[in-house]
Amino acid sequence: MHGRLGSGIAIAAALAALSGCGSSSSNGGGSSTGSGPSPDQTAAFKTGFLAAANGFGTTARAIGSAIQHASSLTNAQIGSEFHTLAGQWQSRVAELQTLTPPPKYATDFATVKSAAGRVTSDLNAIVAAAGSGDKNAARQAGDSVVRDVLAAKSAATSITNGLGSK
């Protein structure tokens, strides 16, 4: 079964999009309004969010790399690699759970958390597809990974730009 699923998750067009997660130069800000938090609360959120976003970017680049070379791996190797990536991604999601955003970032933050949670599920779906040898499931999960990483990246970009970080 060497490389059997690799073509099912090879999504070369998405690699550039995946590798940019956690940083951007597009414009945008938080999408909801509210009373201002204290400067200390905003600073704590900024520090925690930027650390998580950078971690997501590192893991997203690793996901892109794994997708790129999946065709040269056995299903067992694909399953192992994506299992590791799912664990790394889930650690970043856990970091988000500890943060409380200022009200003006609440909507975008909820989007980041939701999309990031879906990425964990998508990565686990690739692991399951590798275990069962289901090429179609692998392809669908690969497509979902890309879509959900991009959704998380878009909302994260709005937050980081609003926080004055690029």
Helix axes 135-162, 106-132, angle to 10 degrees: 160
Number of domains in the chain: 1
Instruction: Give, in order, the Cα–Cα distances in Å from 150 to each of 7, 112, 114, 125, 133.
Output: 21, 10, 12, 18, 27
Q: What is the CA radius of gyration of the chain?
A: 17
Residue in the block written with tokens 């970080």: 165
Amino acid at 19: S
Residue 65 lies in a domain: yes
Burial of 34 (0-12, 13-18, 19+ CB in 10 A): exposed
Rounded Cα–Cα distance for residues 14 and 33 (Å): 33
pLDDT-derived band at 165 (thresholds 50, 70, 90) equals low
Does any domain span residue 84? yes
Mean pLDDT of the region 113-138: 93
Q: For the chain, what's the residue count? A: 166
Whether residue 40 lies inside any domain: the answer is no
> Is position 38 within any domain?
no
Residue range 100-124, pLDDT digits in tens: 999 999 999 999 999 999 999 999 9
Return the sign of the alpha-carbon dihedral for residues 92, 98, 102, 104. positive
| Domain assignment present for 36 | no
| Residue 109 maps to a domain | yes
> pTM of the entire structure?
0.78
Residue-number span of the structural domain to which 57 is assigned: 6-24+50-162
Q: Please state the separation of Cα 25 from the chain's center in Å.
A: 18
pLDDT in tens, 71-90: 888 899 999 999 999 999 99
Residue 31 C-alpha from the chain's centroid: 20
